[in-house]
Chains A and B, each alone.
Chain A
Amino acid sequence: MTAATLDAVVAAGPRKFDWVRRNPTIVIGSAILALFVVLALVAPWIANDPLSFDPLNRLKRPSSEFWFGTDQFGRDVYSRVVYGTRISLIVGASVAVIATAIGLVVGVLCGYYRRVDDIVMRVMDGLMAIPAILLAIALITLMKASLLIVIIAISIPEIPRVVRLVRSVVLTVRGLPYIEAAVASGTRGRIIMTRHILPTTVAPLIVQATYVCASAILIEAGLSFLGAGTPPEIPSWGNVISLGRAYFQISPWIIFFPGLMLAIAVLAINLVGDGLRDTLDPRIARRM
């Protein structure tokens, strides 16, 4: 580089959008996600009643009046999809929070106390052997379907993955000299766990939480599609798709638009997750 260009670079100072350029996936993913959040918040102003029947306009093609067409009851698919954003975001965020919170507590305890570890990890192994969708189906067939039950049912199979991750981080950290020093100086176990071990789990946990969130949204849609998800009167994307099944050959738009939204939302969350993984924790990045 010649002196002239170097001067120019120095004069320009740190570029404004440097961070954006270095993390395109996080920026693009968050931007799309932000759009979905806005959509969910302003749903009542930009969409009509997702439940109102209109027998005169059954199975209408997408048009300027009905952007995404109408379903077999004449309900506006666009309005239903917009309101469905709320359900998917609520499910994704709640499951991510519940699964990481419980997984964190159990994982730290397992990593720190060997006796707890033996028993709890056997339970986690067993839970992990059950396919997530079937576990959720089992819970939902036994209880009255509600949004809360769906969230709990999806959270349970996600917990073991978080526990394993946290536990492996804790086990690595536990052997490090600074923990030994804390133990030697008589720090109590609770303090060591919360102040010295917990912070090391934050970065991998954030990354994991994004993947849990994406997977939860997909599982909720899958459950609703199978008829074991949110109650059918709630316009979740999976429910809209499920109802469109019988009319797929004549009215593919009922399935196509919510499916597309679902794919875009999951893609956006995964992009954020991949980006965070690369910036926050290069060690995991290499392992993936």
Chain B
Amino acid sequence: MGKIESNSRAILDLDRLVHEPARLAILTVLASAEEVAFLFLQRVTGLSKGNLSSHTQKLEAAGYLETVKVFQGRIPVTSFRITEDGRTALRLYHQQLRALLPKEGKS
């Protein structure tokens, strides 16, 4: 098997759920803290409410994050936490991507 073919396979093996830029941004933010409020996640990623909800639902369905809903007085507050599976998926994605990139000094 040639190098080009093996690289193509590696690209195809990338976790597409993580590879999507918005979801990658969401997982990166969640991996940097223990629990993140919806509002902060929305502002830091620059996504609209609807977009963020749709992406978090997909990640939750894959078991990469969990939603925490609490009431502060009468106001419902939504937060997210990355799961161990989510952390592993993100770490694996970084490793795969790093392996695909050309080493420094090599053309």
> A and B from one assembly?
no
Which B positions have Cβ atoms within 8 angstroms of A?
none
Which A positions have Cβ atoms within 8 angstroms of B?
none
